[in-house]
Amino acid sequence: MSCVIHGFLPDSLMTVLLVPVVKDKAGKVGSSDNYRPIVLANTLSKVIEAILLSRFCNLIGSTENQFGFKSIHGTDLYIFALKELVSKYKSKNSTVFMCFLDASKAFNWVNHKKLFQKLCDAHVPKYIVRCLSYCTVQICALFDTYYCVFQMEHPHLTLLHRENFIWSLSSFTLLEPYISVLDGDPLQEVVKSVIHQYKISVLPKHPSFRKCINHGDFNDLNILVQPCESDGYRISGILDFGNLNSGYYIYELAITVTYMMIEHPRPIEVGGPVLAGWESVLPLNEAEKECLYVLVLSRFCQSLVIARYAVTLNPENREYLMTTSKKGVHILHQLWELGKEHVEKVWFQSAAQFSDGK
Q: DSSP letter for 200, please.
A: I
Provide the 8-state DSSP code for 317: G
Selection from 259, 262, 271 nearest residue 330 by Cα: 262
3-state SS assignment for residue 17: strand
Residue 144 bears catalytic tag: no
SS3 158: helix
Q: State the Cα–Cα distance between residues 315 and 308, nearest whole angstrom.
A: 10
How far apart (Å, rounded) are the C-alpha atoms in residues 47 and 50? 5
- Rounded CA separation 225/314 (Å): 31
DSSP-derived secondary structure letter, 220: G
Catalytic residue selected from 217, 220, 231, 356: 217
Strand partners, 19: 38
What distances in angstroms separate CA 154 from CA 6, 158, 201, one per listed residue? 10, 8, 32
What is the residue type of 230?
Answer: S
Cβ–Cβ < 8 Å for 301, 191 = yes
Three-state secondary structure call for residue 12: helix
* Strand ranges inside the chain, DSSP E: 16-22, 35-41, 211-214, 223-227, 233-238, 245-248
Contact 307, 322 (CB under 8 A): yes
Cβ neighbors of 263 (< 8 A, separation 6 or more) are: 220
CB 172 within 8 A of CB 198: yes
Cα-Cα-Cα-Cα dihedral sign, residues 60, 63, 66, 67? positive
Point out the residues that are catalytic: 217
